[in-house]
Amino acid sequence: METLQIKGTILTPSLGDAYVAALKRNSYLSILRAASIVQPADVADITPVLAYAAAQTSPTQVAVKGGGAHSSTWASSDGGIVIDLFKLNKVALSEDKNSISVQGGALWEDVYKITSQAKVEVVGAPLWFVGVGGFTLGGGYGPLSGEHGLAIDNLLSATVVLADGRVVKTSATEEPDLFWAIRGGGGQFGIVVEFVFKVHPYAGPFTGGLLVYPIADKSDLRKVIDEWKKTQTSAERFTMHFSRPPPDFKPCVIIFPSTLHDVDGARARRSFAPFLELSAGRAQLPFRTVPDFHAVSHAADKALEHAPRRLVIRGTMFSDFYPELLGAVWDKWVDFTEGNPDVRASAVLWDLTVPDRIADIKPGETALKTRMPHYWIAIQGRSTTDESVDACREFTSDVVQFVRAKNAELSGQDLGWFLNMCQGDEKPEDVFGENLPRLRAVKATYDPGDVFNKGVSIEPLV
Ligand SMILES: Cc1cc2nc3c(=O)[nH]c(=O)nc-3n(C[C@H](O)[C@H](O)[C@H](O)COP(=O)(O)OP(=O)(O)OC[C@H]3O[C@@H](n4cnc5c(N)ncnc54)[C@H](O)[C@@H]3O)c2cc1C
């Protein structure tokens, strides 16, 4: 492997610190020791690596790393080759500012630096360190999704290195089946080396902040949701967290409200007012208006600085904020975080983005399972010790299973799992639903040997 003629870097364990640094992921639990890590300097570097892996007598696993933010081990390999795309992070805004091309290893940080400077927007992740690759291929639910749909709904074209080394362009008119599959089907069809996204007009200034509600009674949860429903529009983006903030680590509901187009602060005053009233006399931090999304994507930096990095995330979709669903998740989370200080940083995040635009796209138009109006929940298990990791895994798994089943019971709709927050042990039909047969057929065309097999398994149709 070390003798492969490429312009990029090849790292093996014998290289010590540089190799160890390249294994790093957002979660310590996502790290596996690869036999080699290849960091392509350009797209042409990728084909020889795939050829090398294919030529070995015993199959060598190939894993692809975008931003390394996924909390599974899908972007890592135990003894195989990792193709780490981090050097492929160029971003170019078109001259007419209608589209932006982003290389497959870019972080949203790389994109927001450009869009913020040019005063335009793109549907991306809420946090700067999330990779464009994994986020987009799993659907991409972002803070601007209320106004513009998901990242995949804004994808105009992509360039993909296939398992056999060919580089193909894909769009609604070129290799359309592949274009369909990568919009929600994940990274199992090839290595996306370039995404081209639709660009939208400036959506700032953005006003955000933090409201902390120590919860004495579960009915308070319902009050928070009722207030939000009264004021919500697609130009507000709220998230609700169950969290135990220092210094006393009491169970709290924390609301992160954020408004778009907040030119003179009027929108924030209007949409935050009921929440401020609800929290009267209780802890809250001041609100801040920032000019651009780059600043918004750094808003959680301080809070995340000390968060334990043994992180496991699982997520699922739900149809509405049913009081019995909210209350039961609250009880499960309080119980889990009460007794063991190792895991008290574990949190539950409810995304409160208005779902209408997401539901504008017809089911089956992209590979995403669910297009009926829905929300998503992320269960974040965080542990300060190795000993408590299994408990976190069990907790996240238990809560998402509960939410999925309870939501199905209450709404009559089984919305399945959220690919961007899966761990790989999920049944593919529960992630891709009715799209699975077509995904398997596309897989048979573009990756018949199942080279890109990390993730929720999509077996090529035989
Ligand atoms: C703190 C945090 C907040 C998050 N918030 C959201 C959110 O608001 N909305 C949301 O939708 N998701 C969210 N996510 C989930 C996130 O979108 C996924 O974890 C996503 O996979 C991260 O992308 P990445 O490129 O960093 O991942 P990686 O860990 O690098 O890769 C994840 C998967 O994608 C594949 N992949 C990555 N890049 C490519 C590529 N260019 N070509 C082919 N395959 C590729 C990898 O092989 C792997 O299977 C969040 C995650 C975290 C940790």
Give the CATH number for residue 49.
3.30.43.10
How confident is the model over 376-384, as a mean pLDDT?
98
* Domain CATH code at residue 360: 3.40.462.20
* Ligand 1 atom with the shortest distance to the CA of 132: 25
**228 ligand 1 Cβ < 6 A:** no
3-state secondary structure of 155: strand
Residues 362 and 258 in one domain: yes
Write down which residue in 175, 202, 229 finishes a domain.
202
How confident is the model over 341-357, as a mean pLDDT?
96
87 Ramachandran zone, left/alpha/beta (phi>0; psi -120 to 50): alpha
**Is there a domain that residue 35 lies in?**
yes
Task: Evaluate whether 461 touches 437 at the Cβ level (below 8 Å).
Answer: yes
The pLDDT score that the predictor gives to residue 284 is 67
* Domain CATH code at residue 101: 3.30.465.10
Residue among 72, 88, 137, 305 whose CB has most ligand 1 atoms within 8 A, to mutate: 137
**69 ligand 1 Cβ < 6 A:** yes
Residue among 420, 443, 446, 450 whose CB has most ligand 1 atoms within 8 A, to mutate: 420
Ligand 1 centroid to Cα of residue 130, in Å, is 6
**Is there a domain that residue 450 lies in?**
no
The pLDDT score that the predictor gives to residue 283 is 54
Ligand 1 centroid to Cα of residue 134, in Å, is 3
Packing angle, helices 389-411 and 323-339, rounded to 10: 170
**40 ligand 1 Cβ < 6 A:** no
Ligand 1 centroid to Cα of residue 250, in Å, is 31
Atom 39 of ligand 1: nearest residue by CA position: 133
**382 ligand 1 Cβ < 6 A:** no
* Ligand 1 atom with the shortest distance to the CA of 189: 43
Its domain, for residue 14, covers: 9-85
How confident is the model over 145-151, as a mean pLDDT?
97
How confident is the model over 341-354, as a mean pLDDT?
96
Question: Model confidence at 234, in pLDDT bands (50, 70, 90)?
Answer: very high
**332 ligand 1 Cβ < 6 A:** no
The pLDDT score that the predictor gives to residue 229 is 87
Ligand 1 centroid to Cα of residue 164, in Å, is 24
Residues 315 and 402 in one domain: yes
How confident is the model over 356-373, as a mean pLDDT?
96
Share of the chain above pLDDT 90, in %: 85
The pLDDT score that the predictor gives to residue 211 is 86
The pLDDT score that the predictor gives to residue 228 is 86
Residues 133 and 43 in one domain: no
**Is there a domain that residue 448 lies in?**
no
Residues 55 and 142 in one domain: no
Mean pLDDT of all residues in the chain? 95
175-211 residue pLDDT tens: 999 999 999 999 999 999 999 999 999 999 999 988 8
Residues 400 and 339 in one domain: yes
Going from the C-alpha of 277 to that of each of 63, 210, 264, 438, the distances in angstroms are 50, 14, 21, 50
- Is 51 a residue whose pLDDT tops 60? yes
Share of the chain above pLDDT 70, in %: 98
The pLDDT score that the predictor gives to residue 89 is 98
Residues 182 and 134 in one domain: yes
Question: Model confidence at 281, in pLDDT bands (50, 70, 90)?
Answer: low
Residues 238 and 106 in one domain: no
Residues 186 and 166 in one domain: yes
- Is 73 a residue whose pLDDT tops 80? yes
**104 ligand 1 Cβ < 6 A:** yes
CA distance linking residue 394 with residue 136, whole number of Å = 27
Residues 52 and 129 in one domain: no
- Is 75 a residue whose pLDDT tops 80? yes
CA distance linking residue 456 with residue 462, whole number of Å = 18
Task: Give how far the C-alpha of residue 330 lies from the chain's centroid of Cα atoms, to the nearest Å.
Answer: 23
**124 ligand 1 Cβ < 6 A:** no
**Is there a domain that residue 162 lies in?**
yes
The pLDDT score that the predictor gives to residue 90 is 98
CA distance linking residue 114 with residue 95, whole number of Å = 13
Write down which residue in 169, 202, 235 finishes a domain.
202
Residues 266 and 374 in one domain: yes
How confident is the model over 67-90, as a mean pLDDT?
98
The pLDDT score that the predictor gives to residue 273 is 83
**140 ligand 1 Cβ < 6 A:** yes
111-145 residue pLDDT tens: 999 999 999 999 999 999 999 999 999 999 999 99
Residues 288 and 377 in one domain: yes
Residues 63 and 147 in one domain: no
The domain tally of the chain equals 3
**Is there a domain that residue 211 lies in?**
yes
The pLDDT score that the predictor gives to residue 456 is 96
**Is there a domain that residue 187 lies in?**
yes
**Is there a domain that residue 431 lies in?**
no
Q: Return the number of other C-beta atoms located less than 10 Å from residue 18's C-beta.
A: 11
How confident is the model over 16-36, as a mean pLDDT?
98
* Ligand 1 atom with the shortest distance to the CA of 150: 11
- Is 320 a residue whose pLDDT tops 90? yes
**Is there a domain that residue 435 lies in?**
no
Structure-model confidence comparison of residues 231 and 19, the more confident one: 19
The pLDDT score that the predictor gives to residue 393 is 98
- Is 346 a residue whose pLDDT tops 60? yes
